[in-house]
Amino acid sequence: MDMSVITIPSDHTHDWILNKHYAKRLPSISFAYGLYEGSWLKGVCTYGRPASPFLCRGVCGEENAYRVYELNRVVLIDGMRNAASYLISRTLKMLPGGLIVVSYADTGWGHLGKIYQATNWIYTGITKERTDIGFEDNLHSRHYDKGIDTKAHRKFRTAKHRYVYFTGTKKDKKQLKRLLRYEVQPYPKGDSKRYEAGYQPASQLRLEFSEDE
């Protein structure tokens, strides 16, 4: 059966993200897309503004910080091994032109970012291991009162492979690539570890709305 990708309401991704994705946390969502096989939702992909202002300024400079978005979640029904690259490639074409998109492959889960390599992202190296603020309910620190004692909520974060993609026309991409402040590096090689959550989202499985809604 043919697959298709359409824009979906952001709340239609929540069940997938909170229960099937390994992070178990809702990110910032500015653009949400669904992968359909016939009328059945088989996966979701979301993009949003990064939590870190340093990242937004660091990719292509302060003057282009407003362009920076993160591909922050890709979640698929187990066993759809060739669908991730299709979903990502389609959604990148559906995003507004002139955006700077960043995404990460978490080494802690054995990921190399093969789906980003397959969809022609630019590899810019690996981040350092660090600690930052985390909470038991998995909400990001920006959702909490600024007066909270954060010292008791430090969590270890593993190193991540960082990929960058520019949306829009060939001219848009060429102009933005010239502004890239990260060093372009060869793709990392090796085997990626796959995980399967063993959970099938129960909500919004069938296509019951139009793309214009």
pLDDT in tens, 147-196: 555 555 556 578 999 999 999 999 999 999 999 999 999 999 987 666 56
Q: Which domains does the chain have, with CATH numbers?
A: 3-179 (3.40.630.30)
The pLDDT value recorded for residue 15 is 94
> Residue 90 in contact with residue 7, Cβ under 8 Å?
no
pLDDT at 199: 75
Residue 202 falls in which region: left (phi positive, over 0), alpha (psi -120 to 50) or beta: alpha
Annotate 52-85 with three-state secondary structure. CHHHHHHHHCHHHHHHEEEEEEEEECCCCCCHHH
Do the beta carbons of residue 205 and residue 20 sit within 8 Å?
A: no
Indicate if the pLDDT at residue 211 is higher than 90: no
Reading phi first (left if > 0) and then psi (alpha if -120 to 50, else beta), residue 186 is in beta
Say yes or no to pLDDT of 122 above 80: yes
Mean pLDDT comparison of 94-103, 109-118, 120-129, 131-140, highest-scoring range: 94-103
Is residue 131 within a helix (H) or strand (E), and if so which, with residue range?
A: strand 130-133
pLDDT tier at 135, thresholds 50, 70, 90: very low
Residue 200 has what pLDDT?
A: 72
Task: Say whether pLDDT at 139 is over 70.
Answer: no
Give me the mean pLDDT over the 44-54 stretch. Answer: 95
Q: What is the pLDDT of residue 180?
A: 97
At 111, is the pLDDT very low, low, confident or very high (cuts 50, 70, 90)? Answer: confident
Would the pLDDT of 210 be above 50? no
CA distance 142 to 133: 9
Pairwise CA distance, residues 92 & 133, whole Å: 30
Token pair belonging to 203:
């909500």
The letter for the amino acid at 53 is: P
What whole-number distance in Å separates Cα of residue 162 and Cα of residue 113? 8
pLDDT at 107 over 90: no
pTM over 0.85: no
pLDDT in tens, 55-93: 999 999 999 999 999 999 999 987 777 899 999 999 999
The answer to whether 74 touches 42, Cβ cutoff 8 Å, is no
* Residue 43: strand, helix, or coil: strand
**Average pLDDT taken over every residue of the chain:** 84
For position 147, what pLDDT does the model report? Answer: 58
Q: Which residues pair with 123 in a beta bridge?
A: 163
Mean per-residue pLDDT for 202-208?
Answer: 51
